[in-house]
A and B are shown apart, each in its own frame.
Chain A
């Protein structure tokens, strides 16, 4: 099922119309759901790849020509976000291209044949009928959107940086980046120069956050290595392969402060973000529960950084003593993807990150004050990850049982011996993994029943998470290096009757409109409170749905919803209906009862 270079090269020359396809999905109400799974997936599959049938026709091109350029294996990500404010999630996919002597001509076409070799925007035309049944389809609207993103793409983050109610995109590249401002009419304008947010170095993951709590989203850009095609060196195992990151020097990250007037200022030095490594993953959360959002940077083969917000415009890296810089034996691991979530239900954000094969993926458990312990072995998450090189990942409650599970997408960065021996032209591909949280600080790998799509061996990189069909469960956009993007729809409700859930969209007025950084507590009569954070960052080079989807398990009602806004204000709501999406607007609740 892999897409080899030869196929990419062939498809580059093809021009074929992208047909938007329909697929009937389950209705929104749990009781109304149709029992049949979507076509193409077995009834027992948790996730089903519906890409082809919904019109998601995108193949990433890494441009490999045998030169083994180091950057070829690192891209690219994607975003799930609602660019047209119609209530459903659209998709943005990052593209690469040929490099060096094989650099693209201006008329190079995408493998899908739908336009130039560039990033693509797919509009979600979800149709939910009165009986709850729905049709999901995507339309490539890149040309109509005015987006012209032809850099050698890496990643994307999504947020409404100018608080106009329309979500914007920050695209990272191997080279200059792009800030695509949403014009509120289906089009975007690149405002990278006007906003002052460009960084010509090799950027991979970025994150929007309001670090100074002024109501405007600031931007952290994680930069990787000082690499150029001219400095590419030859590396070998038993055959020639891609080099490791230690052959190049890291470059500094950047923190841009949003002035609120459409421009940003580079405050990296002022904020005292001085140490840096080869950054691949970036995630934000309030790790020490002081009300100020912090930044965690996952570095490749270098100590990770946990930048604790001092509340005065500066940050302090506490990762080392805090126990989140190195794994339990003190090794700096090759961190790629990273995410935060309250997996153990104790109210704080824990960290999970993906690593190179021969290293375990690592779970750092927060004690609530920003001090972490490596629980990778105790939870059972470590050993199953050893053979895999992980990239995109997220804490998601895929089965809505109220416990956050983990999905990890994999793909090596250097030749795998067994694949090389088998004559594989791109011997990096691996399968992806799904881990179920058992609720007792242990995880069980359930990849074997996750679905046929988990049997595909591909070079996965990005993973963006969100409820794409608005049916109350988490879906996944998986982006593959030199391969097709895949949309994995969650099919679980067809398997065991499903659990209850509540979906929340939070909207701000005085704080940032997206409410990034806000926390939501779901209080139940028959279970402990569930705390979730409003976020679109995390994973690898990808942007997630900022809406909050909370699995409730068997709970049939919730006693209260409590939101802690980014500026520290607290509001509560009662008698909120479950098993549906609800919008909570700042100021519409009441002060907490206790």
Chain B
């Protein structure tokens, strides 16, 4: 097994093989059903222990009465296999195979089991026997292909992958990746890149394809493309439709429990790639698990796979429309993608369902502001400020909405209060300085205080915006030479940066100063301050990932 992620145990994540390959269990089929000992299970959940005891006892009773069937042994084997108990599972499958030699399932499961047990030769032998019963079974062909590849039997491996590719679209991506790996082993880098690109185009979220693809491009001399793929590398394995393995997961539900534990650990440690793998297994085992789907979606989001993230969030919400965190995260994803109208819907659902979601409130306020719904934004920010009076972004957002609505006196009051609550936040002093320097409302203006505030800010922060504010204050005080000098400095920066629209606006203001008049527009209508970006956060994911 070379960690292709197709095995029941999740391949690489398995901490240890359960035995040494040589000289362990017999590979030959038993002449009669052999007794299967009940394993040590003290480390398992009590309910699982009981489930196993009951199932084991039932089969034992049937065996004692000579009424045991292949199905009974096989299904007990599935239960053991699903719970990671490979030794008794092996015994059960061997018995099932003996009692029902023509049943494909038991050979297949046994082959997969041997692969998990790091007994590749037995796995190959058993899976080839399964193929004899069902020659066109896609998952078996892929598994045999991978085992042959691991043994460097590349031609035979390629045949199996091509057969799988021709017969079962559900395993096409895995088969193409297998062919790409064979090409790499043969140092045929061009066809390797083609096979892997094709696989990636069929399943763009399969981040594990990027690394071998990068190695192919590196060998082809395309370092830039190699580096791009290296940046996108991840642990998400090729998808493979494998109904039999899904049955094992469903029977035991252990795949789900183990994977969820692993996934929660990965989330806790910020290893989102691993979280994707683990929670994909959880969801495969239980497609109705809305919380795990939401966590999988978050993991996809954190690994940059936005399409999969959106799809999983929607599915999670279809299963559980009251999942506030899923609404919140989907809202943020949509907002990041510029789809603010739909984002507002989900963010509103999030804060309605869970009013304590500060991240939901701030994002809803920002989305409303971006879509020009300033009155609603002011209310939304106000709701958040009742929950969290020291929330700086909410105070600033509320002030900007007030400014855009022309309610400068209210904005000034809001900013004065914000400065009192958060005196060390320069954004408040700067915004207030602008308002005091350039508000069209004479009752709001106070150029002396504006100059003092902006000079204080400029002592530590000399951005173009601060210099522009300095010019506004100087102009309002009638110090036009200094205002022009400061404005020219800002204009130069804008011209160097190639921002033509900004330069035009700054030039217009400069001409106002040159005409001996002050500015009466503290912020242009298209100033980015009126469209705050979405606020991201990981707190939601932590909650989802918790066990």
Instruction: Give, as a whole number of angstroms, the nearest-CB distance from B222 to chain A.
Output: 12
Return chain A residues, CB-CB under 8 Å to B119.
Answer: 387
The residue on B at minimum CB distance from A242 is B15
Give the chain A neighbours of B215 by CB distance below 8 A.
Answer: 323, 328, 373
- Complex Cα spacing A541 to B459, Å: 54
Separation in Å of the B274 CB from the closest CB of chain A? Answer: 8
* Interface contact A238-B83, CB-CB below 8 Å: yes
CA distance A356 to B14 in the complex (A): 9
CB of A375 to closest CB in B, whole Å: 9
Q: A331-B12, A371-B218, A387-B118 are in contact. Are A377 and B185 (CB under 8 A)?
A: yes
A389 within 8 A of B: yes
A414 interface residue per 8 A CB criterion = yes
* Partner pick for B16 among A321, A330, A358, CB 8 A cutoff: A358
Q: Which of A113-121, A277-285, A415-423 contacts B (4 or more CB under 8 A)?
A: A415-423
Complex contacts, A380 vs chain B, CB 8 Å: 152
A359 to B16: give the CA distance in the assembly, Å. 9
B345 to chain A, nearest CB (A): 38
* B40→A386 contact, CB < 8 A: no
Q: Name the one of A331, A382, A417 contacting B86, with C-beta atoms under 8 angstroms.
A: A417
**Contact status A383-B43, CB under 8 Å:** no
Interface residues in A310-355 by Cβ distance below 8 A to B read 320-321, 323, 326-331, 333
- Chain B: minimal CB distance from A403 (Å): 19
Task: Tell me the complex Cα distance, A328–B213, Å.
Answer: 10
A321-B227, A331-B3, A360-B2 are contacts. A383–B150 as well, Cβ < 8 Å?
Answer: yes
**Nearest Cβ in chain A — how far from B326, in angstroms?**
26
Q: How many residues of A are in contact with the other chain, CB < 8 A?
A: 48
Whether B21 pairs with A387 at a CB distance below 8 angstroms is: yes
Q: Determine the distance from Cα of A321 to Cα of B149 in the docked complex, in whole angstroms.
A: 24
Is B40's CB under 8 angstroms from A420's CB?
yes
> Are A417 and B120 touching (Cβ within 8 A)?
no
Is residue B285 contacting chain A, with contact meaning CB distance below 8 A? Answer: no
In contact, A329 and B211 (Cβ under 8 angstroms): yes
Asked if A416 and B43 sit within 8 Å, CB to CB, the answer is no
Are B3 and A377 interface neighbours, CB within 8 A?
no
Among B12, B20, B208, the residue within 8 A (CB) of A430 is B20
Question: What's the minimum C-beta distance from A65 to chain B, rounded to whole angstroms?
Answer: 18
Complex CA–CA separation, A2 to B200 (angstroms): 49
At the interface, yes or no: A357 with Cβ under 8 Å from chain B?
A: yes
Closest residue on chain A to residue B223 by CB atoms: A321
The answer to whether A238 touches B84, judged by C-beta atoms less than 8 angstroms apart, is yes
Which of chain A's residues have a CB closer than 8 A to the CB of B214? Answer: 321
- Identify which of residues 354-411 in chain A touch chain B, using a CB-to-CB cut-off of 8 Å: 356-360, 371, 373, 377-378, 380, 382-383, 386-389
Contact, CB under 8 Å: B41 / A238: yes
Known: A416-B17, A416-B18. A358 touches B43 (CB 8 A): no
**B151 engages A358 (CB within 8 Å):** no
B395 on interface, CB distance cutoff 8 Å: no
B85 x A431 contact (CB < 8 A)? no
CB distance from A369 to the nearest CB of B (A): 12
Contacts of A357 in B (CB 8 A): 16-17, 118
Query: Chain B at the A interface: mostly helix, strand, loop or mixed?
Result: loop
A275 at the interface (CB under 8 A from B): no
Segment of A22-30, A244-252, A573-581 engaged in the interface with chain B: A244-252
Determine how close the nearest CB of chain B comes to the CB of A549; give it in whole angstroms.
31
Chain A residues in 8 Å Cβ range of B41:
238-239
When the two chains form their complex, are residues A330 and B12 in contact, meaning their CB atoms are under 8 A apart?
Answer: no
| Interface assignment of A241: CB less than 8 Å from any CB of chain B | yes
Cβ–Cβ < 8 Å partners of B86 in chain A:
417
> Which residues of B have CB within 8 Å of A326?
211, 233
Alpha-carbon distance A420/B19, docked complex (angstroms): 10
Docked pose: A319 CA to B16 CA in angstroms: 26
Our pick among B15, B87, B150, B271 for the contact of A377 (Cβ within 8 Å) is: B150
Given known A-B contacts A246-B265, A323-B218, A329-B211, A358 and B40 have beta carbons under 8 A apart:
no
Contact B85 A388 (CB under 8 A): no
Known contacts A418-B87, A421-B37, A421-B40: A237-B20 contact under CB 8 Å: no
Instruction: Say yes or no: B12 contacts A418, CB within 8 Å.
Output: no
Contact B265 A239 (CB under 8 A): no
Contact of A330 among B84, B150, B212, B227 (CB under 8 A): B212
Partner of B269, one of A249, A331, A333, A382: A249
| Chain B CB within 10 Å, residue with most, of A321, A326, A383 | A383
B184 at the interface (CB under 8 A from A): yes
Q: A238-B83, A240-B42 are in contact. Are A417 and B18 (CB under 8 A)?
A: yes
Shortest CB–CB separation between residue A383 and chain B, in angstroms? 6
Q: How far is the CB of A575 from chain B (nearest CB, A)?
A: 42
Q: A329-B4, A359-B12, A417-B19 are in contact. Are A386 and B37 (CB under 8 A)?
A: no
Cβ contacts B274-295/A at 8 Å (1 or 0 each): 1000000000000000000000
| Chain B residue contacts of A167, Cβ below 8 A | none
Asked if B210 is an interface residue, CB under 8 A from chain A, the answer is yes
- Is B533 at the interface (CB under 8 A from chain A)? no
Most A CB contacts (10 A, CB to CB) among B42, B152, B210, B227 go to: B152
A76 at the interface (CB under 8 A from B): no
- Which chain A residues lie closer than 8 Å to B37 at the CB level? 421
Q: In the complex, what's the smallest C-beta–C-beta distance from A296 to chain B, in angstroms? A: 18
Is the Cβ of A417 less than 8 Å from the Cβ of B87? yes
B152 touches A377 (CB 8 A): yes
- Tell me, in angstroms, the Cα distance from A244 to B17 when the chains sit together: 14
Q: A359-B3, A377-B152 are in contact. Are A237 and B15 (CB under 8 A)?
A: yes
CB distance from B149 to the nearest CB of A (A): 7
State the CA gap A414–B208 with chains docked (Å).
27
Which B13-31 residues have a C-beta within 8 angstroms of A? 14-22, 24
Q: How far is the CB of B119 from chain A (nearest CB, A)?
A: 7
Asked whether B44 lies within 8 Å of A238 as measured between CB atoms, the reply is yes
On whether the beta carbons of B87 and A386 are closer than 8 Å, the reply is: no
In the complex, what distance in Å separates the CA atom of A412 from the CA atom of B41? 20
Interface string of B189-210 (1 = CB under 8 A from A): 0000000000000000000101
Central interface residue in A241, A327, A377, by most chain B CB within 10 Å: A377
CB distance from B373 to the nearest CB of A (A): 44
Q: Which residues of A contact B116 (CB under 8 A)?
A: 358
Assess whether B12 is in contact with A358, with CB atoms less than 8 Å apart: yes
Residue of B nearest to A386 (CB): B118
Question: Whole-angstrom distance between the alpha carbons of A380 and B22 in the complex?
Answer: 16
Contact among B1, B20, B85, B226 for A358, CB-based, below 8 A: B1
Contact check, A415 vs B16: say whether CB atoms are below 8 A apart: yes
- Name the residue of chain A whose CB is nearest to the CB of B214: A321
- Chain A residue nearest to B12 (CB atoms) is A331
B338 within 8 A of A: no
Asked, given contacts A246-B265, A357-B118, A382-B2, whether A238 binds B85 with beta carbons under 8 Å apart, the answer is yes
- Check if B133 is an interface residue, CB within 8 A of chain A: no
Q: When each residue 428-464 of chain B gets 1 if its CB lies under 8 Å from chain A and 0 otherwise, what string results?
A: 0000000000000000000000000000000000000
A383–B115 CA distance with the chains assembled, in angstroms? 12
Partner of A387, one of B11, B19, B84, B150: B19
A20 and B208 CA atoms in complex are apart in Å by 56
| Residues on B with beta carbons closer than 8 Å to the beta carbon of A328 | 2, 181, 184-185, 212, 215
Distance between B220 CB and nearest chain A CB, rounded to angstroms: 13
Whether A330 and B223, one on each chain, are in contact in the complex, defined by CB atoms closer than 8 angstroms, is no
In Å, the complex CA distance between A416 and B84 comes to: 12
Q: Is B494 close to A, CB under 8 A?
A: no
Which of B212, B230, B266 sits near A321, CB closer than 8 Å? B230
Contacts of A359 in B (CB 8 A): 3, 12
Contact pattern, B 416-437, Cβ under 8 Å of A = 1, otherwise 0:
0000000000000000000000
Provide 23 A-B residue pairs closer than 8 Å at the C-beta atoms, listed in order of the A residue: A236-B43, A237-B15, A246-B265, A246-B274, A321-B214, A326-B211, A329-B2, A329-B4, A330-B212, A330-B233, A357-B118, A358-B116, A360-B150, A377-B185, A378-B152, A378-B185, A380-B152, A382-B2, A386-B1, A386-B21, A413-B16, A415-B16, A416-B16
**Nearest 7 CB-CB pairings of A with B:** A330-B211, A236-B43, A417-B18, A357-B17, A418-B19, A386-B118, A387-B21
Q: A238-B84, A333-B12 are in contact. List 7 more A-B contacts (CB 8 A).
A: A330-B208, A330-B211, A358-B3, A358-B118, A377-B149, A386-B118, A430-B20
